[in-house]
Amino acid sequence: MKLQIELSCKELEEEIVSLLSQMIQIPSCNPPGEYEEICTFLKNKLANYGFDVSIIEVPMELVKQQGLSTPRKNVIATLKGNGTGPSLILNAHLDTVPEDNHAKWNFPPFSGAIHDGKVYGRGATDSKGRLAAYIGAALVLKQANIPLAGDIIVAATCDEETGGELGAGYVMSNGLVKGDFALVEGYSQEIIHAMAGMTQLKITSIGKPAHSGFKWNGVNAIEKMAKVIHGLEQLQLELMNEPSKINGMRYTTINVGVISGGTKSNVVPGDCEIEVDLRIIPEHSIEFIVARIESMINKLQETDPEMNIQLTKKGEAETVPTITDPEHPLIYALQQASKEINDVELPVIGVMGQSDARWFIQHGIPAINYGPGTPENRLHGFDEFMEIDDLLNTVKVLSLFCMNMVNNNNLIGKGV
């Protein structure tokens, strides 16, 4: 079977690389969220490949509720099996971050230039490179005439770069994509099975303004906030001594990312505000960490009656920590494919970021992250690229992985 897959991949090399180059040439930056052209292109291309394809449009009233103005669309393409095996979802996102200053790119950001064994452009790795690999893996199996018991579903979803609520979140919450397992964008040198939770807080210190020459008439909100920041620093030291047991994850982090307050140096500031980002390991919960911050603030206020501190969540996308069992059949099948193709067992790790994998896990579908590329591919930077050898090698691994997953009847109904 390995030989069949390698021969089929060899025949499709030019097509897979060309597909990636063509997708890069269609801007799909978010913001603002440009999806019309890329969705039309993929619908036609995937239909020609033999997929059953649909475009799922998000109702504009939901789009406007999010403060957005451009249509949100998701492309779902299915390579049908005979219905006797489990279905596997391969998920990568359509959107990219903006290209920034064109003058700082050696290759134009939407050129899809192929040079010295690399494909260049915005999205070359994140995430059009992953999408090309997922489509390519299904095509390899089709080209090799390998029978499929279950379906392979390529879900090209929108808005991952801004939380994914109207992308993978929308299609999963509304039951528009159904499957037994999911593989979501990731890197080729590792398997990610756990991701940190995330929430953001706004902490406000309310003081009393006064002339600085009569400081005793006021309450300095910035000085009171300094106590809160020191308290957060002390809590961070505590959390460093509560490390995660998951390889690749360290500890829950507290980051004071924004501070503002005061009007002039000769005025006692009447207000001060900070914005705090929390990244939370699976051993902790969001509620547990927020409660510890609230407790710290309450103790400070008990010792300083002039302190008036208010804590609220910012209201942006909040994600709970997610984890898939490192012994899960998904990981076993991917390891077997990696060993057969490359004679390499991949490290299984957790990371302190998040991805659309959470939308599948939250709806009872086990998910892991894997795909072509590495963190060295200048994701979100100038001259983002994809190594062609890495892309094609990952296609081989994914082809074998997909075949083994959808043809394993013993996995039907296994769940998380």
Place 375 in a pLDDT band, splitting at 50, 70 and 90: very high
Q: Which two tokens stand for residue 302?
A: 């008990």
Place 246 in a pLDDT band, splitting at 50, 70 and 90: very high
| pLDDT over 90 at 368, yes or no | yes
Q: What is the pLDDT of residue 410?
A: 80
Place 99 in a pLDDT band, splitting at 50, 70 and 90: very high
Among residues of the chain, what percentage have pLDDT more than 70? 98
Identify the CATH assignment for 2-195+321-411 out of 3.40.630.10, 3.60.21.10, 2.30.110.10, 3.30.420.40: 3.40.630.10
pTM of the model: 0.93
Place 413 in a pLDDT band, splitting at 50, 70 and 90: low
| pLDDT over 70 at 414, yes or no | no
What average pLDDT does range 223-242 have in this prediction?
A: 98
Of 323, 403, 404, the residue nearest 368 (C-alpha): 323
What average pLDDT does range 72-98 have in this prediction?
A: 97
Place 1 in a pLDDT band, splitting at 50, 70 and 90: confident
The letter for the amino acid at 413 is G
314-358 tens-digit pLDDT: 866 788 999 999 999 999 999 999 999 999 999 999 999 999 999
Q: What is the pLDDT of residue 12?
A: 97
Q: Report the mean per-residue pLDDT for the chain.
A: 96
Q: Which fold has domain 197-313?
A: Alpha-Beta Plaits (3.30.70)
32-80 tens-digit pLDDT: 999 999 999 999 999 999 999 999 999 999 999 999 999 999 999 999 9
Terminal Cα-to-Cα distance of the chain (whole angstroms) = 28
112-130 tens-digit pLDDT: 999 999 999 999 999 999 9
Place 416 in a pLDDT band, splitting at 50, 70 and 90: very low
- Is the Cα torsion angle 329, 324, 78, 134 positive or negative in sign? negative
Q: Which two tokens stand for residue 284?
A: 């902790």
How many Cα atoms within 13 Å fall on the side-chain side of residue 155? 31
Q: What is the pLDDT of residue 289?
A: 97
What average pLDDT does range 367-382 have in this prediction?
A: 97
| pLDDT over 80 at 279, yes or no | yes
Q: What is the pLDDT of residue 318?
A: 85
233 burial via Cβ count (<10 Å: 0-12, 13-18, 19+)? exposed
140-170 tens-digit pLDDT: 999 999 999 999 999 999 999 999 999 999 9
| Structural domain spans, the chain | 2-195+321-411, 197-313
